[in-house]
Amino acid sequence: MTERRYVESHSDVLRHPHEQMLKLVAKGFYKELINYGVKEPEILTVAGHLLDNVSLKSNPNRITVDTYNTLFSVKDIHNDWNEKRELSISSISITPLGTNDFGQIGKWTNSPEARRYFYPHFPDTPSGLEQYFQSDDREYFRINSDGKFVGIIGADQVDNQSKKLEMRKLVGASEQRGKGIGKRAIFLFLYYAYLIKNFEKVFLHSLDINLRNLSLNGKFGFYLEGVFFEDITIDGERHDLVRMVLSRSVWQELFA
């Protein structure tokens, strides 16, 4: 990539973050279609079907972004933080990590799939993980579903001065994904970050190809803050890294 193209793209991102987000989603969607075996000439057919959906379902004069505030609000959260360090919503809870959790976490974070989504990778030994999670600038939680340990969510790069942190999350076993666990855990974690920890800003990094994650974050009100162009190498190919952000005021406006 030439320096000029980088500068143009970068100022575009600053001027039109939502348009850039849509471009990234389209790029990720294109790659997914090719991965699913759709041939290049068939992409136009798919685009036609997408347009059919638009003309059937939407009013072109209204632009709306779906958010999860129709699904839950802060009053749905059981706050047992002071009594037993637990926040819960329906059958999902988050609680601090325990020293016995690192073996299970290692099995999840060492899977090829998790290694594909997290940059930098998590350490690959239980002792490395223990050291990692106990660092002062991190605060991670177990995600429990009906009391069963199913994943982790937490804060990296905790900056107490600027009151900002990076959120990372993983629903460990692939058969547990897509059941509504991730979005509830994120909601609990954001409650913790804004209303218990009193932080101002939560940001996250996502790969341009991780469409599910981009869409999920958008439904909490996260929006594009910037793109690190061709920042990461996966299987010999360079990928953009997307940074999304959510401020406390936006979150409160949506969910309080």
Ligand X SMILES: CC(C)(COP(=O)(O)OP(=O)(O)OC[C@H]1O[C@@H](n2cnc3c(N)ncnc32)[C@H](O)[C@@H]1OP(=O)(O)O)[C@@H](O)C(=O)NCCC(=O)NCCS
Binding site for ligand X (CB under 6 A): 117, 168-171, 177-183, 204, 206, 210, 212-213, 216
In the complex, the smallest distance separating the C-beta of residue 169 from ligand X, rounded to whole angstroms, is 5
Nearest residue to 185 via CA among 151, 212, 156: 151
Residue nearer to ligand X on the CB measure, 168 or 248: 168
> Which residue lies nearer to ligand X by CB, 107 or 179?
179
Q: Which is nearer to ligand X, 183 or 248 (CB)?
A: 183
Considering the complex, state which of residue 54 and residue 65 has its C-beta at the smaller distance from ligand X.
65
Phi-psi region of 33 (alpha: psi -120 to 50; beta: other; left: phi over 0): alpha
Q: Measured from the CB atom, is 7 or 234 closer to ligand X?
A: 234
- Whole-number minimum distance, CB 50 to ligand X, in Å? 15
CB 210 to ligand X: min, Å: 5
